């Protein structure tokens, strides 16, 4: 059997090209990720998801998407309603704890309902970053709160809502992106805060939710821990902070390899990501030349990484039945005052 390689890949458009189909069949990525460029209508999305899975012969292969609400929401009307940014759920929570927690669960449960229609089974949610005043807006209103405990409480409900709907969560961006002063899509953020402060703030939500099955790394340098490498390529950060201090033993995904925060060619970046201790590499933009280089330097899933990946697959389940219309009305009414 040709085993899965430890990578999650994107594709270029609305349908697979012959080259993409042949490449995926030969290289067997563990999963896939979709972006707005891959989404047109309901039948097209469902067909694309099925075609991706057919390429690797795995009916329940993970298909990921970023469906947070607010600025980061790939599937939009008429395919799914626009959802508020997570910060609006946090604002409700600050005024009424029970209402905020209910809204966090509802939004994720409705995301799961939307995504399941197309066969998408992983949502890269929740964002557990704790933003600070003056930080880059790349996180901003994607975060639930500037209070770590609020992030924990709302994040837990978001995870529960997804899993109740048969969709698995990916917490991000471990061990914390909220202090970044620049956007890691374009350049490398360097955080100079002490480890004690980071431990008391940024790391708190991830430690509280260390049992979530998947997490995505931050392309952020924590100078007090490793002044040379961002978390994604830092053995120190992954082993000492993510695995030991935070206690996360789930499947660790890199953030997107094509983001400008990482330096070097794709062979160099891929090697550094696995050397640091990531289980699975994520490459999102669907550029074939880049994917070929990533695939050539990606191992098959083995050892602890394979066990973690199998544990993720074992968690896929059927959604609990809901009265969808009633939940949508309830959610709309809860967040109406925070438009």
d(CA 277, CA 105): 32
DSSP tally for the chain: helices H, then strands E: 12, 13
- Summarize the confidence of residues 275-289 as an average pLDDT: 97
Sheet strands side by side (includes 171-174): 168-169, 122-123, 63-65, 29-33, 5-9, 280-283, 251-256, 214-217, 171-174
Confidence of residue 187 (pLDDT cuts 50, 70, 90): confident
d(CA 275, CA 265): 15
Decide: helix, strand or coil at residue 283.
strand
What is the overall mean pLDDT for the chain?
Answer: 95
Within 13 Å and on the Cβ side, how many CA atoms surround 179? 20
pLDDT at 135: 74
Q: At what angle do helices 324-335 and 97-116 cross, to 10 degrees?
A: 140
Burial class (CB in 10 A: 0-12, 13-18, 19+), 59: exposed
pLDDT of 41 above 60: yes
- Which among 111, 62, 112, 102 has a CA at the least distance from the CA of 335? 102
pLDDT at 339: 64
Name the residues annotated as catalytic.
185, 255
Q: Are strands 72-73 and 67-69 parallel, antiparallel or unpaired?
A: antiparallel
- Summarize the confidence of residues 22-46 as an average pLDDT: 98
Burial class (CB in 10 A: 0-12, 13-18, 19+), 20: buried
**% of the chain at pLDDT higher than 90:** 90
Q: Which residues contact 325 (CB under 8 A, 6 or more apart)?
A: none
- Which among 19, 68, 77, 79 has a CA at the least distance from the CA of 45? 79
Decide: helix, strand or coil at residue 197.
helix
Domain locations in the chain? 5-338
- Which among 135, 156, 157, 131 has a CA at the least distance from the CA of 146? 131
CA distances from 292 to 24, 52, 137 (A): 10, 17, 33
Tens of pLDDT, residues 222-270: 999 999 999 999 999 999 999 999 999 999 999 999 887 788 899 999 9
- Summarize the confidence of residues 73-99 as an average pLDDT: 97
**DSSP-derived secondary structure letter, 241:** I
Q: Which helix (H) or strand (E) holds 171?
A: strand 171-174
Residue located via tokens 């925070």:
338
pLDDT at 2: 61
- Predicted TM-score (pTM) of this structure: 0.95
- Summarize the confidence of residues 38-64 as an average pLDDT: 97
Decide: helix, strand or coil at residue 215.
strand
Domain 5-338 has CATH 3.30.870.10: no
Decide: helix, strand or coil at residue 206.
helix
- What sign does the dihedral 62-43-36-28 (CA atoms) show? positive
Residue located via tokens 């929401």:
73
């Amino acid at each position: 059997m040709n085993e899965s390689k430890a990578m999650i890949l994107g594709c270029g458009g609305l349908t697979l090209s012959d080259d993409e189909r042949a490449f995926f069949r030969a290289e067997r990525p563990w999963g896939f990720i979709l972006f707005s460029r891959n989404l047109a209508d309901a039948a097209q999305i469902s067909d694309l998801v099925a075609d991706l899975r057919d390429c690797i012969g795995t009916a329940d292969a993970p298909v990921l998407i970023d469906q947070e609400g607010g600025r980061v929401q790939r599937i939009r009307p008429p395919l799914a309603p626009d959802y508020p940014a997570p910060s609006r759920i946090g604002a409700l929570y600050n005024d009424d704890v029970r209402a905020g927690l209910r809204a966090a669960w509802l939004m994720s449960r409705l995301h799961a309902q939307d995504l399941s229609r197309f066969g998408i089974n992983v949502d890269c949610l929740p964002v557990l970053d704790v933003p600070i005043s003056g930080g880059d807006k790349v996180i901003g209103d994607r975060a639930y709160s500037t209070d770590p405990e609020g992030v924990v409480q709302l994040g837990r409900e978001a995870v529960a809502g997804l899993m109740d709907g048969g969709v698995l969560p990916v917490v991000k961006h471990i061990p914390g992106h909220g202090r970044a002063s620049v956007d890691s899509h374009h350049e490398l953020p360097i955080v100079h805060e002490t480890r004690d402060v980071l431990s008391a703030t940024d790391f708190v939500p991830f430690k509280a939710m260390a049992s979530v099955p998947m997490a995505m790394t931050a392309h952020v340098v924590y100078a007090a821990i490793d002044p040379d490498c961002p978390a994604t390529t830092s053995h120190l950060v992954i082993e000492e902070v993510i695995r030991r201090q935070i206690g996360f033993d789930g499947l660790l995904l890199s953030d997107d390899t094509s983001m400008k925060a990482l330096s070097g060619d794709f062979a160099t970046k891929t090697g550094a990501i696995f050397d640091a201790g990531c289980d699975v590499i994520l490459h999102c933009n669907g550029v074939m030349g880049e994917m070929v280089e990533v695939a050539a330097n990606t191992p098959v899933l083995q050892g602890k990484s394979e066990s973690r990946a199998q544990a993720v697959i074992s968690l896929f389940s059927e959604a609990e039945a809901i009265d969808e219309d009633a939940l949508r009305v309830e959610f709309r009414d809860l967040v109406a005052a925070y438009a």
